[in-house]
Amino acid sequence: MIDGTHIRCLRACYDQVRLLDLTVPPERIYLRKLLLDRNLELPAIVVSLPPNSQETFEPATNMEDDIGYPVLVSFLAASNQDLEVDDRLTTDREVVLSKFRFQGIMGVTDMVYFCRPEPFPVIDMSLFQQANLDVGGFILRFISRQTRG
């Protein structure tokens, strides 16, 4: 079976994040269908499908469209509702963003010509209050130019 564009983007993003010099070790970087998995060892980074996002469709030429495939990159740490600022909440986020921001990505260069970051909460207040977790992230939208029909 041949993988579709979206799953290839998800896997390529995961592979690239694992290669970066981050405060979270590679064995705590996970590829999941959804962000939350109670079996994660924290702190962790999760590359997943964003539950409330959709593909985008923009006309590009008279025969092609730019399709945007969203991938959620989330940063998780136990907080116990600690209000002290922890540098790891923002440092890894900046490193990952700089790797992907408006660039192509290894593993899908044959189908994706750039990646556009999109806003997502830096800290999810409901998870902070209810699950004692610091969770934040961003969406990376991988843009693929595809022929119609």
* Confidence band of 24 (pLDDT split at 50, 70, 90): very high
Q: Is the dihedral of CA 142, 121, 41, 84 positive or negative?
A: positive
What values do phi and psi take at 102, rounded to 5? 55, 40
How far is residue 12 CA from its own chain's centroid?
A: 11
The pLDDT value recorded for residue 2 is: 58
**pLDDT per residue as tens digits for the range 62-79:** 899 999 999 999 999 988
The token duo for 139 is: 């969406």
Q: Is the pLDDT of residue 1 over 70?
A: no
Q: Is the pLDDT of residue 144 over 90?
A: yes
**Residues for the chain: how many in total?**
149
Type of residue numbered 80: N
* Confidence band of 117 (pLDDT split at 50, 70, 90): very high
Q: How far apart are CA 64 and CA 78, in angstroms?
A: 45
**pLDDT per residue as tens digits for the range 38-61:** 789 999 999 999 988 899 999 888
Q: How far apart are CA 45 and CA 29, in angstroms?
A: 5
| pTM for this prediction | 0.91
Q: How far apart are CA 62 and CA 145, in angstroms?
A: 12
How far is residue 55 CA from its own chain's centroid?
A: 14
